[in-house]
Amino acid sequence: MLDCIIIGSGIGGISSALTLKANGKSFVLLGSKDLSVKITRAEKVNNYPAFLGGSGEELCSLLKTQLEREEITVKEGRATGVYALKDKFAVITQENETLEARTIILACGVESGKRIDGETEFLGRGVSYCATCDGFLYKNKKIAVICLSKAFEHEAEYLSKIADKTYLFPLYKGVELTGDNIEKIIKMPTKIVGGKRVEKIFYADKELDVDGVFILKESLPPETLVAGLETENGHVKINRNTETNLSGLFAVGDITGRPYQYAKAVGEGNVAAHAVTEFLNKNI
Amino acid sequence: MLDCIIIGSGIGGISSALTLKANGKSFVLLGSKDLSVKITRAEKVNNYPAFLGGSGEELCSLLKTQLEREEITVKEGRATGVYALKDKFAVITQENETLEARTIILACGVESGKRIDGETEFLGRGVSYCATCDGFLYKNKKIAVICLSKAFEHEAEYLSKIADKTYLFPLYKGVELTGDNIEKIIKMPTKIVGGKRVEKIFYADKELDVDGVFILKESLPPETLVAGLETENGHVKINRNTETNLSGLFAVGDITGRPYQYAKAVGEGNVAAHAVTEFLNKNI
């Protein structure tokens, strides 16, 4: 029986894999040979310590080399269900395979709800989900902020202070945010379009020129993937040791909440690998 | 006023600095131009994602290049006290400078060495961690200096010039310091005892009369560095957002507990920078 199945081959899952390997544990790293679409699409990575490469693509290439060097292979697959059995877990994949292991590290990223046309296409090319992560890129620029919940009004406000002009699409009632450079549009945005980067956003029968689009929303609850998994504001609830409410199941990276950053995912991935190792040692 | 002072130039503090810089915040990174002795000494680093260099020295060299590229300079200095004032913090350095900022990120590593019996009890009553702060109190007196690293030999020398008699306990190899009034003892000190103030220090089966004991080590016990800081098993107690019990003061890396790993420190450093950014935006 495998010691662990790591679900997700983003940088958080890779961090777990590297440390489990160093700790001599057996595992499957379930994901994609391309590792992570999100990483590949990142335009510029300048706050990940000791990475001088620049683009997400270069980061991805380093990670691939490192996995090869450490003799870790990614198993292509997508988990559709995780089930807690007695003393073990079963993972069902989209490819209809069943894998079993004594522990699970969930590292499959944040699930988004209904997407706007163009949202996925322009992610990392003008579309962002994180004000504090990417806001600084839009100093003196024009942005649209699609705000799905009042809880994110302070993030929208933060963005409006950086950008020259903010078109605010509040998709909730009782919007309070105002500002000289904020134009509120009480309509549903329908489409994001552009070339290499975002250029326009459409709503009703109108269009606006923008340099970026921030979409501030909660993630989809991951309890659809794992029955009985406790979540909080759409993210898997973990403690500082990356433990979830299910004994033997750990979670790392974007799925556990903001900031959606490589560094944070890497840190949690490392902590989870140590936690899994301790768990296995205790429960022989 | 500075937005933040990052205390410690290890990889956790650097992670915070890179992200605060990206977020456009003003800060001082207080530490050493060499960044971190611990990193430099690591023989092999193979589980830090996207780092293929091998040795800790190479990791350190990448970090230095990255700091230069991002125009972040390390301010040489060592904090000896952090004080929470109204709406800001003051940091006193060993170099007798006072720095002020609205927030603090504590990233100064885990306290080195096991505490000696009586160390905590007599702190401020004969036990001191700071030669330049308290040295002058021991003019013409007898002191013990417990020196945990060669890096502090100059501090021990400074003390020996003030005191009448210095018993030096060097807890490292290759001690070079000599002096007429210095008596070197190559034993582990075991206990500090006294009444209102320190009176004696014990080692092996012997005891010495002393007026004071200086303990010169890399990292201070966190509750000594920051009055009122909550700790747990010798580590700073933080939540998942790296918040301590003191509003505006965050902690990252080894100081917050195991695993003592670069990846974990990097993750917490990133989270703290985002938490600081949010804190500043909320408390304008």
Residue A220, pLDDT > 60, answer no
A69: left (phi over 0), alpha (psi -120 to 50) or beta: alpha
State the pLDDT at residue A225: 81
Cβ–Cβ contact B95 with A under 8 A: no
Give the pLDDT band of residue A27 (cuts 50, 70, 90): very high
Selecting from B47, B264, B278 the residue whose C-beta is nearest the C-beta of A22 gives: B47
CA triple B259-B223-B149, angle to 5 deg: 65
Residue A10, pLDDT > 50, answer yes
Q: What does DSSP assign to residue B94?
A: T
pLDDT in tens, B137-166: 999 999 999 999 888 899 999 999 999 999
Residues in chain B within 8 Å Cβ distance of A238:
240
Cβ–Cβ contact B65 with A under 8 A: yes
% of chain A at pLDDT higher than 90: 70
pLDDT higher at B132 or B199: B199
pLDDT higher at A208 or B129: A208
Residues in chain B within 8 Å Cβ distance of A15:
47, 49, 263
Cβ–Cβ contact B50 with A under 8 A: yes
State the pLDDT at residue A8: 93
Selecting from B22, B49, B259 the residue whose C-beta is nearest the C-beta of A66 gives: B49
Give the pLDDT band of residue A221 (cuts 50, 70, 90): low
Q: How many CA atoms lie within 13 A of B223 on its CB side?
A: 14
DSSP result, A187-240: S-EEEEEESSSEEEEEETTEEEE-SEEEEE-PPPPGGGTBTT--EETTEE---T
pLDDT in tens, A253-275: 999 999 999 999 999 999 999 99
Residues in chain B within 8 Å Cβ distance of A21:
47
Q: What is the value of ipTM here, to two decimals? A: 0.82
Residue A110, pLDDT > 90, answer no
State the pLDDT at residue A80: 77
pLDDT in tens, B17-70: 999 999 999 999 999 999 987 788 788 898 999 999 889 999 999 999 999 999
Whole-structure pTM value: 0.78
pLDDT in tens, B209-235: 999 999 998 777 898 899 899 999 889
Cβ–Cβ contact B21 with A under 8 A: yes
% of chain A at pLDDT higher than 70: 96
